[in-house]
Structure 1
């Protein structure tokens, strides 16, 4: 398909970013793309981006109905290239009507418009409305970027329902971003305990820049900096008057990429008087910033008031000031928060699994994301060996004298006094145990990885099931519950009646240790594990829900015709569950073909993943499922069940089979082993898929949850300060 895109925008804002993303997507799908962009300097970067992606780029603009030369040039170009689709990106309702007419007269087969700003208020005039209604009859399809704009197009311009479609804006993945202090240094912004509020976009009246400055002046927030990224007609006035403002104003101009700017901020503000679904807002949400935004256009479709951000009415500086004050007072915005983090799972059997990895990664990343002056207190048991943590700066360890178990009946009683004594503003338990009561104003966050003890009663004994059930229910009292998947979120809602508005879905990540090693390391690992023989690999422990009997049955079928093949099962082979599985292997007469190397280091795991013919993960249920993603990161094709969240997490990058079906699992393994091209496709898809899961993003979104929990913490019963344990 031949697609010609036209955009007359003269600055690189959300519209041109949209064009760039769409161009890359069309080229990836192997369509021919010709992009027509304004010759203005502000569109140079977008022209380069489209050209580098592989599109043909022409600098051409039709400047209104009097630009007869521009119209003639466009008409000739369309007639010569005869595109299947002529796609116009509109920054106002009637902006490109001359271009539309020129394309139509040039013989364009199908004309599509994306309406990026149909509500722009200067064009709500009778003749503009009439011109738009007439031009709409020439269109084969109209795309609105939010439902609010679609409704406006129906009512104001009589756009027919059969040609109108809502396709919301999206954003590409961000690269790994610097920490706040590093980002501030890169941009020349104040360091230390400054609160930095930022906005990005055109510096024009319609963007509400004046409302933001008036609100900042009225907020009374000490040590405040307002940083503005962008250009526009207000810049000279802002430069003249900036020194008179009661806060520091930083004008950064137009930036190449918004990531570092967002990383430097404490709060992102979008005070616009007119918007559709701005990409800057979506990018700020992606980074995990607290949001203050006007209730206009499609913003309310992306931001729920009090959940993803605080919404204000347009042109209301007083409401913006109040929202800024509320967020600043919540703590994280001004560097005065003390966070308690229960890391005792690193002293239990959970240390070697996904919960342990989650805890370690957060402990390594969270302190770097907090503001200067914040402190994290890491709680460990004094009665167990201490894990090797190497905590970063602003982290302090407190050893608890209570019983050593990670989840105990004593915890709910002891935590309130402990939190009060240590002055904890927010307490996070990454493995279920939250206090029954807490000091007044202390927020709590619980991470619930899965509800396997409730969903699969046979997976634990009766006592464990009772304990887990109590702690799952107690997690509902937390200000925020973090879950790693939509599946776990829905389980909490269905089984325990959790409030969906208090649940934050934050996927886990894959660390830098998991990438394909050098060939010599892979060969050495294969030699150690199987004497150089080919093998399929499983990593994930010996719990009943891992369904290793199905894996063993499938391997017996496949190895019957592939005698040289081995099965390597990594995990705690010396544990009671590991010993029971080893006995099952012995009774099945497969001791020589099933290898149990125990737990491997991350480097050892990376080499084992990379050296395997396949990674097989037959779990009946997972709340997330890290090992398949780690395998993908190391270039290993993955076969997995669709149990629990696995289909959601792995998508079409893995070969999925029904849980518990050993025959289907054997068939999938046999197909993959016998089809090298199929394995290569799985490897390529896996590498793409795993890019979506980054621990840095997990940590950033966790900080955002902390902010929301602090802002909304309910008053609690104050506990006497004596009797600290």
Structure 2
């Protein structure tokens, strides 16, 4: 069976969708029954010729409607129309529906593309059961055409905890990783940190990731904070820098208002770092008993959770052990097997 996946998420800054796309392609290419190719959406990304693809993944020339493949898999809300191929579309999350105020021009385009795919003959793939239920409830998709296949966790690159502490400017620090945008609510994290910082003058807060839209809100919160001089803002990091920060961190914080999966807290668990996260979206499903959960939008609860994690060695040890166990649920081979089963099913039903 020949399948072609949209590799557009591999262009530019790598987000969670890009992590899934690369990991899934790499694992699928190892399955002997599949011939895996990649294509790029001409209207969604530029520079497709610069794509770095996993070993064993070829390039497909998709001339709409697509031919020469059995299954087209759109990895990020959109999938081309095709006369002769079954279609699968991945829905990473539905933040664009849950939070209309967060809709960018791209988000509105993604939503239109997704509605067209669901109204057509595309089957839906999600990374979590939470998002699968949202697709059914909010978009009216047929539950029989919605499948959940969880991804693996990207392998953590080699990195030095000492280098991470040097980047953070402190031996103890709270770390947040991800694009700085309203959905991540790093402004709330700054306020929560400000509450605990007075009694813990050896702790910094590090926020690392690319600038998203409305990033000025985060900067304003830092400027207002009494301990804003201990908030370290780093941009997008390479794998070595990211690994160093993870390995050196005392606590990983995820204060999001919504998540469709959540790679970064799993990466923190891989690094042996305890996690404090908001109890929203897919996070309870993905992280289970391996994180300390706090209510979203409650600065005091987030501050208390972070302080407790910093001060309670027994809690840290318990959650680090639970994190190692939790990671065993996620593998790229299981992801590939699940996607292959989905491809065979949708091809047979066409």
TM-score in same-fold range (> 0.5)? yes
| Partner Cα separation in structure 2 for residue 492 and residue 364 of structure 1 | 27
| Partner Cα separation in structure 2 for residue 467 and residue 700 of structure 1 | 31
1:231-630 to 2 correspondence within 5 Å? 332=1, 337=2, 339-348=3-12, 351-371=13-33, 374-379=35-40, 381=42, 383-384=46-47, 386-387=49-50, 389-393=52-56, 395-396=58-59, 398=61, 415-416=64-65, 419-420=66-67, 423-435=68-80, 437-439=81-83, 441-461=84-104, 463-464=105-106, 466-476=108-118, 477-513=120-156, 521-530=160-169, 532-573=170-211, 576-578=213-215, 580-588=217-225, 590-630=227-267
- Long gaps (5+) in structure 1: 1-331, 401-413, 714-725
Q: Deviations over 1:605-640 (max 9, x none)?
A: 222112111001011111111111110111000000
* Contact 2:7/2:38, CA 8 A, preserved across alignment: no
| Partner Cα separation in structure 2 for residue 649 and residue 383 of structure 1 | 33
Structure 1 pair 387–647 and aligned structure 2 pair: CA distance change class (3 A): farther
How far off its partner does 1:483 sit?
A: 0.3
Secondary structure at the aligned position of 1:492 is classed as helix
- Long gaps (5+) in structure 2: none
* Contact 1:550/1:618, CA 8 A, preserved across alignment: yes
Secondary structure at the aligned position of 1:352 is classed as coil
Q: Deviations over 1:639-693 (max 9, x none)?
A: 0011101011111110011111111111111111111111111111111111111
Secondary structure at the aligned position of 1:358 is classed as helix
Greater Rg over alpha carbons, structure: 1
* Contact 1:479/1:712, CA 8 A, preserved across alignment: no
The structure with higher relative contact order (CA 8 Å, sep 6+) is: 2
* Contact 1:457/1:465, CA 8 A, preserved across alignment: no
* Contact 1:346/1:387, CA 8 A, preserved across alignment: no
How far off its partner does 1:444 sit?
A: 0.3
How far off its partner does 1:366 sit?
A: 1.5
Aligned alpha-carbon RMSD (Å): 2.2
Say if 2:302 is the partner of 1:639: no
| Partner Cα separation in structure 1 for residue 319 and residue 257 of structure 2 | 22
Aligned length, in residue pairs: 347
How far off its partner does 1:389 sit?
A: 1.6
Runs of 4+ in 1 over 3 A off after TM superposition: 380-383, 385-388, 463-466, 575-580, 587-591
How far off its partner does 1:386 sit?
A: 4.6
When normalised by structure 1's length, the TM-score is: 0.46
Secondary structure at the aligned position of 2:4 is classed as strand
Counterpart residue number, 1:697: 334
